[in-house]
Amino acid sequence: MRVAILAHELFPDQAKTALGVLRYSDHEAVAVLDRANTGRRVAEFVPDVQDAPIVAGMADLDPTDVDALVIGIAPIGGGFDEQWREDVRTALEVGCDVISGLHYFLADDEEFARLAAENDCELRDIRDPPADLTVADGVAGEVDAEVILTVGTDCSVGKMTTTMELARDARRAGHDAAVIPTGQTGIVIEGWGNPIDRVVSDFTAGAVEAMILEKGDDHDYLFVEGQGSIVHPAYSPVTLGILHGSMPDALVLCHEAGREEIHGYESFSLPSIPTYVDLYERIAAPVAESQVVAGALNTAGLEDDEHARTAVDEYADALGTPASDVLRFGTDELLEVLC
């Protein structure tokens, strides 16, 4: 699929979905829409992802070149920014699908719904969970695949990135590995999945279990994208639903170097790394014997490789397992214990 990626004024640092698509998806990026950086290229900002030109809007693209417009940014609250309306309208008018992970569902927007119907194209609101979900049966552990879940010390510490890097590198090493996407970026990249944070709490574990059962006998390894943290004041139910619903064999604990307080909840300190290991394993144990076997440390905030290496080594010591920064130092040490 050939996609244009909307990321106005937030590219690249605050455009998590745009970057995820450029880095991991099979989609061909025709352009990034960012009116603040018109005329430049992705590679000027981020060297290690798929390159693409940056344009001011959909009107600057040849409609025959684009199959879908992806909303590549998600403002806090997940609302729709009216400054994007012209691009979505133009996309629909020329017959492009629009893929969005916003809480605001484009299909509920009267103008967009009408334009999509008139031009025979699709509004894909990937954060709208399927209607046929139900409670978990506690059977995800029965699939043939080894189930590997990324868990975290907090939100935005690298669980999605770690999941994608591990799955890609496992496949490159010849393993049959698939990703179980549980959040909007993962779903856009993989083209399927379930936005677990939008699922009714009674069905949270069941929605994850259903995905494991769907893929678990067709692959040797499932890399499950984790969410939030088991001790997050707001999002811990999402985390626990994924943990108990996926019944993982192995956990990879993700953390950001230097993070000491819960992001956006600064009155809450992060527990120690060994405490996280203990909590995740103990709370999993009555449902699944899951062990933390590796760690992923996000060292993007550290200037040079030397400091990053020291931080990774200290993290591995605290964990008592191998660790890496998957973007800076690769996944070899992790895949050695995982596959």
Binding site for a second copy (CB under 8 A): 135-138, 196-202, 204-206, 230-238, 240-241, 244-245, 262, 265, 267-271, 275, 278-279, 282-283, 285-287
Nearer to a second copy, 42 or 222 (CB): 222
Q: How far is the CB of 266 from a second copy (least distance, A)?
A: 10
Give one DSSP letter per residue of 55-107, joined into a string. ES-GGGS-GGG-SEEEE----TT-PPPGGGHHHHHHHHHTT-EEEE--SS-GG
User: What's the rounded Cα separation, in Å, for the pair 339 and 148?
Assistant: 10
Residue 253: its H or E element: strand 250-256
Q: How far is the CB of 298 from a second copy (least distance, A)?
A: 20
Q: How far is the CB of 237 from a second copy (least distance, A)?
A: 4
Nearer to a second copy, 262 or 319 (CB): 262
Nearer to a second copy, 38 or 201 (CB): 201
Nearer to a second copy, 149 or 170 (CB): 149
Q: Is the dihedral of CA 35, 40, 41, 43 positive or negative?
A: negative
Nearer to a second copy, 31 or 222 (CB): 222
Nearer to a second copy, 4 or 243 (CB): 243
Q: Which residues contact 298 (CB under 8 A, 6 or more apart)?
A: 157, 158, 161, 254, 255, 256, 257, 325, 327
Nearer to a second copy, 63 or 233 (CB): 233
Cα distances from 124 to residues 111, 163, 240, 291, in angstroms, run: 15, 23, 27, 37
Q: How far is the CB of 270 from a second copy (least distance, A)?
A: 8
Q: How far is the CB of 39 from a second copy (least distance, A)?
A: 38
Q: How far is the CB of 142 from a second copy (least distance, A)?
A: 10
Amino acid at 302: L
Residue 321, burial from CB neighbour count under 10 angstroms (0-12, 13-18, 19+): buried
Nearer to a second copy, 179 or 207 (CB): 207
The encoded tokens of residue 257 equal: 């170097």
Q: How far is the CB of 264 from a second copy (least distance, A)?
A: 9
User: What's the rounded Cα separation, in Å, for the pair 48 and 68?
Assistant: 23
Q: How far is the CB of 202 from a second copy (least distance, A)?
A: 4
Give one DSSP letter per residue of 99-164, joined into a string. EE--SS-GGGSHHHHHHHHHTT--EEETTS--TT-----S-GGGSSSEEEEEEESSSSSSHHHHHH
